[in-house]
Amino acid sequence: MKRRILKNVEWGILICTILLVIIGLVALTSATQNSDYEDLKKQILWVAISIPVMIIVIFIDYDIIAKISPILYGIIVALLIGVLFTEPINGATSWFNIGPFSFQPAEFAKIICVLTLALVMTKIQKNGRDEISRISKLLLVILVFAVPTLLIIKQPDYGTALAFVMALIFMLFVAGIKKRYIIATVLIVVIAAPLLYFFVLPEHAKTRIDVFLNPDLDPRGAGYNIIQSKLAIGSGELLGMGLFKGNQTQLGFLYPKTTDFIFALIAEEMGFIIASLVIILYVILITKAIYVAKTAKDDLGSYIAVGIAGVFFFHMIENIGMTMGLLPITGIPLPFVSYGGSSLLSNFIMIGILLNISGRRQKAIFID
């Protein structure tokens, strides 16, 4: 059984993941040289923990994992409620502190929400694929999605919440939701966006949007980070300034350089070629994840795989886009590259699930 799983596994996903981790560790080596490599050491430890967890996930049938997802869903919702009562860090109540480490429930909520949504959607569609377009059934799906998402918004962590939204969009599209709902949603977003801006969003979120539209509005305050990030990316040119030699990175202008703006560090010190390679690796990984969804043995596997693809897609687009000034800053990490134990472990679990689904597919079956 294990031999057959390994034979069918989409190894390209794992290769892209390992290459991204290596690039991330090299970047963290440069970013942490002035702090005794503390974050680098922690990241290496989390890599050592995450890889065995990923291997275990590969060999547990994803059908079993999905079946226990409602229990996991209840646990993660309880944790998301509990974390709201913790001490704020940088204005957000997103972490439980456990000794020298911190645990971020929202990172694991992404996996559990995708699994639970996939299970609910497959049960809904047992009586026909069009069942997903019935208002009552669609509201059930949205309720499952909304509970953890709203709790994450409450922290506040808008970036992670948007990753949930992207996963849901990918999954509903693959499930065959009727076009009228897509059109209606687009219209609602267009109408609601200005209302949310003026009447719902807190002041710091409005400031981020204002600075995105005009970084020079507050160059020494809210616009400072994005200006330094763009300077770093531009300074790297083709081959980069060299490891440990980036002006914005090493002189302390780029912040936070180990998490949100690590792509800017890569572009500055390693240059356009390596920065482009990072983007290419993500494109291949996401494309392979969608291919796994297309060739999965059942709808459950397809929905899980495409939901994970949606999460990775949003993280890549948002993190890289914000460092270039193409999207508002949301403080979302770059998967496998940015420093962060919870993020790294949850991402490796998602990779394990993708490899799990690909290992149990029938490669001879293709969906047109």
* Per-residue model confidence as pLDDT tens digits over 74-90: 999 999 999 999 888 77
Q: DSSP character for 88? A: P
Residue 216 domain boundaries: 2-359
Cα 59 to chain centroid distance, Å, stands at: 23
Examine residue 289 and state whether it is found in any structural domain, yes or no: yes
Examine residue 259 and state whether it is found in any structural domain, yes or no: yes
Mean pLDDT of all residues in 149-172: 93
Higher pLDDT, 107 or 222: 107
Q: What is the pTM of this model?
A: 0.93
* Per-residue model confidence as pLDDT tens digits over 246-279: 999 999 899 899 999 999 999 999 999 999 999 9
Examine residue 365 and state whether it is found in any structural domain, yes or no: no
Mean pLDDT of all residues in 149-175: 93
Predicted pLDDT at 307: 97
Pick from 109-118, 140-149, 194-203, 320-329: least confident? 194-203
CA 38/CA 42 separation, integer angstroms: 6
Cβ density class 140-166: b for 16+ within 10 Å, e for less = bbeebbebbbebbeebbbbbbbbbbeb
Mean pLDDT of all residues in 128-145: 90
Single-letter amino acid, residue 252: G
Cis amide bond preceding 156, omega within 30: yes
Q: Which tokens is 82 given?
A: 């509990």
H or E stretch covering 101: strand 101-103
Find residue 97's DSSP bridge partners: 102
Mean pLDDT of all residues in 306-324: 96
Contacts of 224 (CB under 8 A, 6+ apart): 218
Mean pLDDT of all residues in 100-106: 85
Examine residue 62 and state whether it is found in any structural domain, yes or no: yes
Say if residue 242's pLDDT is above 70: yes
* Per-residue model confidence as pLDDT tens digits over 56-77: 999 999 999 999 999 999 999 9
Sign of the Cα torsion 362, 5, 111, 333 reads: negative
Q: DSSP character for 92? A: B
Say if residue 366's pLDDT is above 60: no
Higher pLDDT, 346 or 208: 346
Examine residue 351 and state whether it is found in any structural domain, yes or no: yes
Average pLDDT along the chain? 90
Examine residue 277 and state whether it is found in any structural domain, yes or no: yes
Contact 59, 360 (CB under 8 A): no
Examine residue 199 and state whether it is found in any structural domain, yes or no: yes
Domain count for the chain: 1
Contact 248, 228 (CB under 8 A): yes
Examine residue 367 and state whether it is found in any structural domain, yes or no: no
